[in-house]
Amino acid sequence: MLFNSIDFAIFLPIVFTLFWFATGRSLRLQNALLLISSYLFYGWWDWRYLLLLVFSSLFDFFVGLALDKQEDGRKRSLLFWSSIAVNLTLLGFFKYYNFFADSFVQAFSLFGQQMKLPMLEVILPVGISFYTFQSMSYAINIYWRKLTPTRDILAYTAFVSFFPQLVAGPIERATNLLPQFFKAKEFDYDLVVKGLKMMLLGFFMKVVVADRLALYVDSVYNNVAMHTGWSFIVATFFFALQIYGDFAGYSLIAIGTAKLFGFNLMQNFNRPYFSASFRDFWGRWHISLSTWFKDFVYIPLGGNRGSKTRTRFNLFTTFLVSGLWHGANWTFVIWGAMHGAFQIIERMLADTVKIKLPRAISILLVFALTCLAWVFFRAATVQDAFYVIGTMFTSLGESVHIGDIGIFTFSVVGVLLLFSLEFVMEYYPGFSLLNHRWAPVRYATILFMLIYIISFGVFDGSQFIYFQF
């Protein structure tokens, strides 16, 4: 079920009403309602893939119980690796089998050997990369003795499948979200209002900014042979804001929806395009995933505890894995490698060059290089990505292809509105109109955003970009 759908517009008020007025503030009834609602929310897309979610949840639940009881080190390791193997096998089968099989065949063809491997006609289950990571981290923390497993299977399955963040995060830690399922919720008017404001902003970013920009971006990147340098520069700039508006918008809707039920999810974005370094960027972009990879990949590899060479290797490897997590395509691997290289070069320069650039220049430089990496993220193939980049630098004599003047104009207006909003929140948070101390200003802002969303939003049922991951 999509947040930006009529189905969700009907689903959410029903669940909200039942949660607060039909459960009698009973903890078990509240958790049971959330579990049933979450399974309905996920199964609305394709009920057959609901079985994967149930299996992954139950497997790690019982692995967690067994890990807590087991004192034998070898047996604990066996249980731990069984959780890793099962979750990664599910992820690998549905997401990566065709990618690795095709790469294997192509590698052998370079040596004149022709091989044939069967390709699977399977659909990637929505959200599998998110809920497997969330479930797997639960077992990992128990193995590391950082978490005591719960014996309440209802609370645990509700935690893994919690519908606001089920299909695209934030990827929550059991230490933060799971305890919230053991506290009966009391209706909090202020929290609900805060949640609704976050949802309003999220919908604005999605349907007014991201989906409007997507119309231009898709027209260029889906027909790369028909466009020139300036068109690619504009489309890449628009895509940088499209993917931010799309995913940060989703996260705001998810966090805001959770607040309607008394739950607090972690912040997932913090205005990343105002970052003055790549290290800062990854502290602001998809925070739940970047911290997941830091805790469960980078630090176990050794983190920064070894030599500088070893630290750079750990960092680069983490970003390679992160790139592969985003999709079964070499474009994502290269995207991850570029960000790993950016961080390594940045650290090397910090050690050798003592000149500090003005913050505004640093922000523009980080944004420009981030946009360069986005080319690989958006392009359909590696060949398309190199064609786009090459054309950017060799074919700037022709004018930008605008296409439909209305689409282009509203795209520019959306960019300006988003920038203005982000600039105020970054540098003058006290002037936030949605949370202004004067009620008339708040209400006028809310009314303006509602009217703007209804009038200029794109309501074509487009799914969120990160659903494909």
Whole-number pLDDT of residue 189: 93
Whole-number pLDDT of residue 354: 75
Whole-number pLDDT of residue 297: 92
423-459 in b/e burial notation, b at 16+ Cβ within 10 A? eebeeeeeebebeeeeeeebeebeeebeebbeeebbe
Q: What is the largest CA-CA distance in the chain?
A: 73
Residue-level length of the chain: 469
Cα separation, 265 vs 255, in Å, equals 6
The predicted model scores a pTM of 0.90
Q: Which residues contact 225 (CB under 8 A, 6 or more apart)?
A: 387
User: Are residues 367 and 273 in contact, defined by beta-carbon separation less than 8 angstroms?
Assistant: yes
Let me know if 326 is a catalytic residue.
yes
Whole-number pLDDT of residue 104: 58
Q: Provide the terminal-to-terminal Cα distance of the chain, rounded to the nearest Å.
A: 16
Q: Which residues contact 278 (CB under 8 A, 6 or more apart)?
A: 339, 342, 343, 346, 366, 369, 370
Cα separation, 422 vs 414, in Å, equals 12
What are the pLDDT tens digits along the chain (469 aa)? 788 888 999 999 999 999 999 988 899 999 999 999 999 999 887 788 888 899 999 999 999 999 988 888 889 999 999 999 998 888 888 777 666 666 655 655 555 556 665 655 666 677 788 888 888 889 999 999 988 999 999 999 999 999 999 887 798 988 899 999 999 898 999 999 999 999 999 999 999 999 989 988 998 999 888 888 888 999 999 999 999 999 999 999 999 999 999 999 999 999 999 999 999 999 999 999 999 999 999 999 998 888 889 999 999 999 999 998 888 789 999 999 999 999 999 999 888 887 788 999 999 999 999 999 999 999 999 999 999 999 988 877 666 677 778 778 888 888 898 899 899 889 988 788 888 788 888 899 899 889 988 888 888 767 777 766 6
Cα separation, 171 vs 466, in Å, equals 13
User: Are residues 317 and 333 in contact, defined by beta-carbon separation less than 8 angstroms?
Assistant: no
- Cα-Cα-Cα-Cα dihedral of 201, 133, 309, 283, to 10°? 20
* Choice among 326, 339, 401, 436 that is catalytic: 326
Cα separation, 80 vs 139, in Å, equals 7
* Backbone dihedral region for residue 127 (phi beyond 0: left; psi -120 to 50: alpha; all else: beta): left
Cα separation, 380 vs 162, in Å, equals 32
* Backbone dihedral region for residue 443 (phi beyond 0: left; psi -120 to 50: alpha; all else: beta): alpha
User: Are residues 147 and 138 in contact, defined by beta-carbon separation less than 8 angstroms?
Assistant: yes
Whole-number pLDDT of residue 345: 94
Nearest in space to 134 (alpha carbons), one of 95, 170, 183: 170
Provide the residue ranges of all domains of the chain, joining segments of one domain with +.
6-185, 191-456
